[in-house]
Amino acid sequence: MIQWVPGSSGTWSPQNISETGSHGFETDLGLVYRFSRGYLRINGLYGYTRSYYIDNENIDRNNQLAYVPLNLFTTVIKAGFGKIYAGINTCFTGKRYTTPENDNSLPGYTLTGLQAGYKIKAGINSFDFNLKVENVFGVNYEVIAWYPMPGRSFIASVIYQFAR
């Protein structure tokens, strides 16, 4: 395995790791309730990934691979009535080690997003007018060490869907 990791100066460089292993599982549960003109959809996803070094004389075999979180959890709740819809999603990413020795790590974080939209038919095609707020609570987090991610953001979109 070749893994790219940031050095002390922030420059990424490849690191040769002769052999690694991983195992884990994912589970996804979804429920949908439909009523006369609407729906309520709830989804939950959990992922457990144990990744480790097998053949590296300098690194303990019990160490988790750098930047691979052990736990991920996502929930999505979306409701619609007629032409309008709204939803909330939350994603938890667990602690990630930043070095093969597992002596430095980034803390886990939870991000929440909101969306609302209005979908209308245009013949056999459709328009979807959508507003989203990402990172609603303005969480300070890093996906990669020393590179902070953006705070709250707002997105407006119009999607035109062609029917076949």
Please report the pLDDT score of residue 123 as a whole number: 86
What distance in Å separates the CA atoms of residue 112 and residue 76, rounded to the nearest whole number?
10
Question: Do 61 and 53 touch, CB atoms closer than 8 A?
Answer: yes
Query: Which structure tokens are listed for 78?
Result: 């979306």
Query: Can you give the C-alpha Rg of the chain in angstroms?
Result: 21
Contact of 134 with 111, CB cutoff 8 Å: yes
Provide the residue ranges of all domains of the chain, joining segments of one domain with +: 20-161
DSSP letters for 96-136:
EESSTTS--EE--EEEEEEEEEEEEEETTEEEEEEEEEEST
| pTM score of the predicted model | 0.83
pLDDT at 159: 94
The pLDDT tens digits along the chain (164 residues) read 777 777 777 788 887 766 788 999 999 999 999 999 999 999 999 999 999 888 767 677 788 988 999 999 999 999 999 999 999 999 999 999 998 889 999 999 999 999 999 999 888 899 999 999 999 999 999 999 999 999 999 999 999 998 87
Contact 64, 102 (CB under 8 A): yes
